Structure 1
Amino acid sequence: MVEWILPIAFILFGLLAGIIGEKFIFKKLRKFVAERQIPGGEVIFQSLHRMTFLWFVLAGFSGAIFYSSLKLDADVKILLRKIILIIFLCSVTLVLARITAGFVNLFIRRTEGVPASLISNLAMTVVLVLGTLILLQTVGIEITPIVTTLGVGGIAVGLALQDTLANLFSGFYLLVSKQVRTGDYVKLDDGHEGYVTDITWRNTTIREISNNVIIVPNSKLASAIFTNYHLPAKEITLTMNVGVSYDSDLEEVEQVTVEVAKEVMQEIAPALIAIEPYIRFHTFNDFSIDFTLYMRVSEYFDQRMGKHLFVKKLHRRYQQVGISIPFPIRDVYMQDNGTENSAMELD
């Protein structure tokens, strides 16, 4: 029993240190970093989640084996140490992969707005593959034959996974060419439209305004005809067709309409208020003089709210200043027992 005291003590100490480190020290440090808003701090702490406990436990088992007075066979001790080393290297590789993917996402979020999981997953995969090769080399396994085998087998796998690889490379093409970016509002040639929420190794996810999700294979999207309303910039011009009566003072119409458009811009696109809205008269219609309003909004989806506010505000302002928006009237003649009657009917 005496021989077991020291190993058990090391193991218990590792467990206790791991619990204290994970539950108290780790949480305190994470809270401190969050309060100071240290760049990348949250990524690091998310990557280290549960790992401090594992490392303390491994340290306890390692100390138990090293300082143990138990009469264990030398080969058994070597095997136990290799197992501990393998677990430790696997955990380190996983942490590095998480950190790499996290910082890639952080960088893309700051430059593009919304990260694509394809890039972060690729970065994580590269780190995991390199870590696995280093792990195999560390435990004494020759990696050269493995790499050669993977190279030869990769040809057969590539032939079997042609569609998957086509989607993978199409996803890279979309990201590198920046024809589609996460966060963009796109409209496909089949009529579907929405925000691009993610580009994975196989497909692109588009969220419609109704909150439905459209899954488009990357190869299909790369060869499709679509409109990206966020390129070359998010800001677009909202157009509204309006008609006023022939009795209207066109100078007053222009002044009032532009003032209303500025009020709408102040509500939905204050950053673009320096870009003056304007109108252009273009048609002598049957019942009205028609013009088109041109007004800048922040992005495609803002057109809906912009039109909503503009119609309400313009209708109220026209009523206040006495500008009328005409509606067509039709004369209808009816025959009744040889008598012709005339009536007015709204169209």
Structure 2
Amino acid sequence: MFGDDNFLPLVLINILGIAGIVVWHIQGGNRPTGRLIVQILFFTGMSFVLFTARIAPHRPDGIFTQGFAALLSKSARILWWTHLAWTIIGFVHIYVRLNHKSRNAHLIQDIAIAVIYLGVALSVIGFVFGMPIGTLVATSGVIAIIFGLALQNTLGDVFSGIALTLGRAYAIGDWVELSDGTEGRVVETNWRSTNLLTATYNVVVLPNSILAKQGVTNLSRPDETHQIALRVRIAATQRPRLVEEVMRSVLQASVRIVKNPPPVVAIKAIDAIAIEVELQFRVDSVATRTSAKNEIVDLLHDRCRASGLSLAMPAESLVFVPTSAANEYPDVNNEALSSRSV
């Protein structure tokens, strides 16, 4: 047995395979490049020994079928297939890191690894142990159907998560707004759900299947800046030009808003009661919009008082009074009791 030409190569392959596993674990998970180099070196060495000894890892051993030699033959092939899987997975990890998608493509990376392990497991069963893969796959398909029916909701979340990841609607760290009004920063995505950290520092856990059915507005793209529109009603006692100048001074005095692109003052409407003005400005991020609005409101109050401008009553508070009632109660303030044109 020890004189056979294939026995020593099988021993060498087992030694290389076990040594590769030990070195791979010593490298640690924090050095993916080093791990990949180790995997390539040991896998190349094992493949070279297989090639020179003319041992086919994709065929069952027809020489050693019993005893210790058969055990060495099977373990050598299993180690070769295992190192093949780890080498491919190493390339997947490096590709994800080089493309800066280590967090965004978490689901796709897990799927690729699962497919690689499944393919290697089937290869070992079929090529090393000589079992019929077709029968095993058919049996597994029946079992998969049973599990699929029992886990419909969970599988729906999984495939929705895959679709959302492939669509790249958002990434970890993006601030998103859902169609139901929920807002938050994406802090985690996994197989089943997506976690949002809201402005009140609460974590909202959304199943991926529900998230996929909603409209998602990504407030962090194309950049983190966020536009705010603030409407103000000024009493129509001054010229619109003066109102515009005062509003522009408010925006220029603010230190919490973005000055490039410059903020805009838009006069939206005017009637006998008020001049309606919209202040359009941008902030650095959604997280700072509350403090920026508070600053603008405070400046608005001070500048209006200094310039002699008065805030008008909200349009919803104006009361319609028929002409006969107005003649009956002449002391009623005409500014509060006025007719609205629709």
Q: TM-score, normalised by structure 2?
A: 0.60
Partner in structure 2 of residue 103 of structure 1: 95
CA distance in 1 between partners of 2:166 and 2:42 (Å): 39
Partner in structure 2 of residue 145 of structure 1: 135
Q: How does 1:114-193 map to 2 (within 5 A)?
A: 115-142=104-131, 143-177=133-167, 182-188=172-178, 191-193=181-183
Partner in structure 2 of residue 93 of structure 1: 85
1:303 to 289, 313, 326: 289
Aligned residue pair count: 275
Between 100-109 and 141-150, report the one with greater CA deviation.
Answer: 100-109
Task: For 1:230, give the aligned amino acid.
Answer: L
Change (3 A) 1:285 1:78: farther
Partner in structure 2 of residue 292 of structure 1: 278
Change (3 A) 1:139 1:325: farther
Deviation per residue, 1:59-102 (Å, 9 max, x gap): 9xx9xxxxxxxxxxx83254246435534643552353254155
Partner in structure 2 of residue 34 of structure 1: none
More helix by share: 1
Matched, 1:323 2:307: yes
Query: What SS does structure 2 have at the residue aligned with 1:322?
Result: helix
Query: What SS does structure 2 have at the residue aligned with 1:280?
Result: strand
Q: CA deviation at 1:43?
A: 4.8
Task: For 2:245, give the aligned amino acid.
Answer: Q
Task: For 1:109, give the aligned amino acid.
Answer: K
Residue segments in structure 1 that go unaligned for 5+ positions in a row: 1-6, 31-41, 63-73, 330-347
* Alpha carbons 1:116, 1:199 under 8 Å: kept: no
Partner in structure 1 of residue 269 of structure 2: 282
* Alpha carbons 2:157, 2:193 under 8 Å: kept: yes
CA distance in 2 between partners of 1:322 and 1:262 (Å): 16
Matched, 1:255 2:245: yes
CA distance in 2 between partners of 1:220 and 1:254 (Å): 45
Percent identical across equivalent pairs? 25
CA distance in 2 between partners of 1:280 and 1:43 (Å): 59
Q: CA deviation at 1:115?
A: 0.4
CA distance in 2 between partners of 1:22 and 1:187 (Å): 43
Query: What SS does structure 2 have at the residue aligned with 1:146?
Result: helix
State the Cα RMSD in Å. 4.6
Matched, 1:228 2:217: yes
Q: CA deviation at 1:293?
A: 0.7
Q: TM-score, normalised by structure 1?
A: 0.59
* Alpha carbons 2:257, 2:281 under 8 Å: kept: no
